[in-house]
Chain A
């Protein structure tokens, strides 16, 4: 499989900063180019912010970070109008959401009201404040993080909100070798400043358009439908995948195929991205919790490729 050279370059650069997480980097890029938003579920200090920073830097995108807290209001994210005495009128001060890459740290600390304000903006790619609708910048990409362990005083995202994230990944600890390099070298900030811009925002938009044109054959479409039907018919899942999940699956698979230098989808594309796209949308029938990744993979192996 020949891989898209640009894509490889980005992956390589990110690899120098976020050590040993090639797969997650690829998934992040896929998600971004598929016009999706990403949820990273992991402990603090794993490198979520670094990953977001290195990606936005490599792609030449504007980056902002918001630390969510329970006293945060929607206006803190979207922006507010403030009375300007010199012009004797209200002037809109855009919030941190007016950026290209937004890192929403610990999104589950915010109140549902604030969460939903962000999530609506993510979905619609525009913000309505005080009756005036303002488009967000393009491309627009949210990386939200969530701490799965600390549940005290948090507002976990409901399923309906989880559905709005195209993918959910976990970073996990680096392996021993990567960690050794990390500990030995330290100074992540300096390395981050050495990262080159590989693309411009216009390039990103163009690629996003090209991805829409990746060819979807009857056979792959049938396979995706079989997969969705399986989740709906199988007795292991409380609810099956929604049509939106099906769209997300195809969008992510298209991006994955394109980033791997192909102009058409193959079943393997779907298989590669599927765990990250569907895991947070499915619940086990027995305890209504998420299925472990291995079990999900085993279940999905029951669907033959047509």
Chain B
């Protein structure tokens, strides 16, 4: 087989590997096009068909170019560009008759691999691209050495990629970074779950079904016990008899009371397409562009579509600030009619109690006394949802409890509101941070008491105290737990799977923070830590060149220095004999390097007479094979087999 053919399979494999991550973005006809072109390439390789004529290829190339453009409505964007590249590249192996064409193919494949960066910078993609680059390098080696062995090619290509890694790291850390990055990725994912403007019964319990990550937090965990990890996001203040609404509010300046204990958190918020920023209850400052409101919520200026990182400051105690009268009226508003039983109950509490605090106590006692059940699948509620829930079904999720409680409080004349956010979170032992998922979504109530200001009241905690400590999984009744959390009854598998996922999450988080988060500013800080001035280009450039020179010199030394010769590679018989010697060594008979096989038999007879009969036939066979004239292949494989089966 001539060099013209021998590199075709490798070329197709490298192209396919480079193409694979793009496959999902391409029109279907491109996939068929590529598969057909590769199939043709294989036929040429098998010499079942000839090379296509030049004019035919030109025609195909033109048709593919127009087709790719047409598929995207003649609008040229990155996907269209990659599609055109893929269509053209798929034709390239069909004309790789000359060395020059093969080399062009290699560099086009490298380019197609690089184009992945226009779409993704996730950690797994990095490893995939590295593998793809190694495969393409193997193709490059094969083109230079068409008759060589694939194993040697793979070793050479892998070694080359490994040698390039230090250079890659150098470029990454020291090459001047452009603020904002070259590839400004826009998040193309759709339909993220999260809190919305409106909270209706069932909206939080839908959230809870999702294992998606809401945000990750680094904080001094000892400062905040698990039961106290209320993450505040939205405040719902308007009730229409069924749903709670969050209404626009004017900005306000927030500051903690002097002398109050504060907690700092580093929060990495996943995009949720809303403007809420989450932070530990009660936040008063965040380090990103946001508007603060009097109800201690923060809103970003735009819906959050990319992962953002910010620092939040929270106070562990609440200020006893009295709201203005018009503010108080807003938190007392309830519809004029509906839910008569609940209103009666509230009116009775109001009459019988001497202080607002007593009303709250009575209400909590009511939830504690009656047979309320925490459930992710509450029954549908009718026209008077609060009445039905309080006196009939008594089965609900946190938003039912918070909603009913806030309604009761308003009916009893106490200003109240609902806070939406998350409760708890899972500590990732690999990364030392807290993962808060959608399944930790929670809603609780706040009541304003005259002397103490807004007080957090969580009626769910009365019904299902295990929710605060152990998360939703612990709080749902056993019959529901089985269907929702199939692993909860199998601790071993569950733990292994959980640890694997947590480890992956830690790796991903590290990647996003340290590698993707290595911005121009971070580079500046690194340079100044290395003692280089980042103000002029001269010092970093000199350092860069010096490091590049050093790495190149080290690489050249590694490649060019003669390696200590290990002598002739032992053949299969010798390898088996060495295995046999290793087995004997384990059995207590250690062969000296200068000890011949016949002496070894004597040694076995002396030290382990019990083994002599077992091993001497094999060793004698080895002697014949290695030193005797004309050993046969059968004899050789018999010896190898003998050694393999020998157990001492």
* Interface assignment of B594: CB less than 8 Å from any CB of chain A: yes
A267 and B629 in contact, given A306-B567, A306-B568 (Cβ under 8 angstroms): no
Q: Which of B592, B626, B627, B629 has the most CB of A within 10 A?
A: B627
* Interface assignment of B327: CB less than 8 Å from any CB of chain A: no
Count residues on chain A whose CB falls below 8 Å from chain B CBs: 20
Say whether A303 contacts B567, CB under 8 Å. Answer: no
* Interface assignment of B564: CB less than 8 Å from any CB of chain A: no
How distant is the Cα of A300 from the Cα of B629 in the complex, in angstroms?
27
Identify which of B594, B623, B628 contacts A302 (C-beta below 8 A). B594
Say whether B594 contacts A263, CB under 8 Å. Answer: no
A305 and B593 in contact, given A1-B598, A266-B598 (Cβ under 8 angstroms): yes
* Interface assignment of B361: CB less than 8 Å from any CB of chain A: no
Count residues on chain B whose CB falls below 8 Å from chain A CBs: 16
Identify which of B593, B594, B596 contacts A266 (C-beta below 8 A). B596
Identify which of A264, A271, A302 contacts B629 (C-beta below 8 A). A264
Q: Which of A263, A265, A267, A300 has the most CB of B within 10 A?
A: A267
Give every chain B residue within 8 A of A305 (Cβ-Cβ). Answer: 593-596
Say whether B594 contacts A304, CB under 8 Å. Answer: yes
* Interface assignment of A220: CB less than 8 Å from any CB of chain B: yes
Say whether B629 contacts A215, CB under 8 Å. Answer: yes
Give every chain A residue within 8 A of B626 (Cβ-Cβ). Answer: 217, 219
Query: In the complex, how many angstroms separate the beta carbon of B606 from the nearest chain A beta carbon?
Result: 15
In this complex, what residue of B is CB-closest to A266?
B627
In this complex, what residue of A is CB-closest to B567?
A306
Give every chain A residue within 8 A of B594 (Cβ-Cβ). Answer: 271, 300-305
Chain B stretch 205-262: residues in CB contact (< 8 A) with chain A? none
In this complex, what residue of B is CB-closest to A302?
B594
Query: In the complex, how many angstroms separate the beta carbon of B541 from the nearest chain A beta carbon?
Result: 50
Say whether B596 contacts A267, CB under 8 Å. Answer: yes
Say whether A217 contacts B628, CB under 8 Å. Answer: yes
Say whether B627 contacts A265, CB under 8 Å. Answer: yes
Say whether A219 contacts B627, CB under 8 Å. Answer: yes
How distant is the Cα of A239 from the Cα of B568 in the complex, in angstroms?
27
Give every chain A residue within 8 A of B623 (Cβ-Cβ). Answer: 266
Say whether B567 contacts A220, CB under 8 Å. Answer: no
* Interface assignment of B597: CB less than 8 Å from any CB of chain A: yes
In this complex, what residue of B is CB-closest to A304?
B593
Query: In the complex, how many angstroms separate the beta carbon of B426 from the nearest chain A beta carbon?
Result: 58
CB 8 Å contact bits of B625-637 with A (1 = contact, 0 = none)? 0111100000000
Identify which of A215, A266, A301 contacts B597 (C-beta below 8 A). A266
Chain A stretch 237-289: residues in CB contact (< 8 A) with chain B? 263-268, 271
Say whether B593 contacts A271, CB under 8 Å. Answer: no
Say whether A268 contacts B629, CB under 8 Å. Answer: no
Give every chain A residue within 8 A of B624 (Cβ-Cβ). Answer: 264
A220 and B595 in contact, given A306-B567, A306-B568 (Cβ under 8 angstroms): no
A264 and B627 in contact, given A306-B567, A306-B568 (Cβ under 8 angstroms): yes
How distant is the Cα of A1 from the Cα of B597 in the complex, in angstroms?
12
Query: In the complex, how many angstroms separate the beta carbon of B639 from the nearest chain A beta carbon?
Result: 15
CB 8 Å contact bits of A291-306 with B (1 = contact, 0 = none)? 0000000001111111
Give every chain B residue within 8 A of A265 (Cβ-Cβ). Answer: 627
In this complex, what residue of A is CB-closest to B597?
A266
Give every chain B residue within 8 A of A271 (Cβ-Cβ). Answer: 594, 596, 599
Say whether B628 contacts A268, CB under 8 Å. Answer: no
In this complex, what residue of B is CB-closest to A268?
B596
How distant is the Cα of A23 from the Cα of B624 in the complex, in angstroms?
26
How distant is the Cα of A268 from the Cα of B603 in the complex, in angstroms?
13
How distant is the Cα of A259 from the Cα of B497 in the complex, in angstroms?
70
How distant is the Cα of A302 from the Cα of B568 in the complex, in angstroms?
18
CB 8 Å contact bits of A210-253 with B (1 = contact, 0 = none)? 00000101011010000000000000000000000000000000
How distant is the Cα of A192 from the Cα of B568 in the complex, in angstroms?
53
Say whether B593 contacts A215, CB under 8 Å. Answer: no
How distant is the Cα of A302 from the Cα of B594 in the complex, in angstroms?
7
How distant is the Cα of A271 from the Cα of B599 in the complex, in angstroms?
10
- List 11 A-B residue pairs with CB atoms under 8 Å apart, sorted by A's residue number: A215-B627, A217-B626, A217-B628, A217-B629, A220-B627, A222-B568, A264-B624, A266-B596, A268-B597, A304-B594, A305-B595
- Extra contacts besides A217-B626, A266-B596, A266-B627 (16): CB < 8 Å: A1-B598, A219-B627, A220-B627, A222-B568, A264-B624, A264-B627, A264-B628, A266-B623, A267-B597, A267-B627, A268-B597, A271-B596, A271-B599, A300-B594, A301-B592, A303-B594
> A residues near B, CB below 8 A?
1, 215, 217, 219-220, 222, 263-268, 271, 300-306
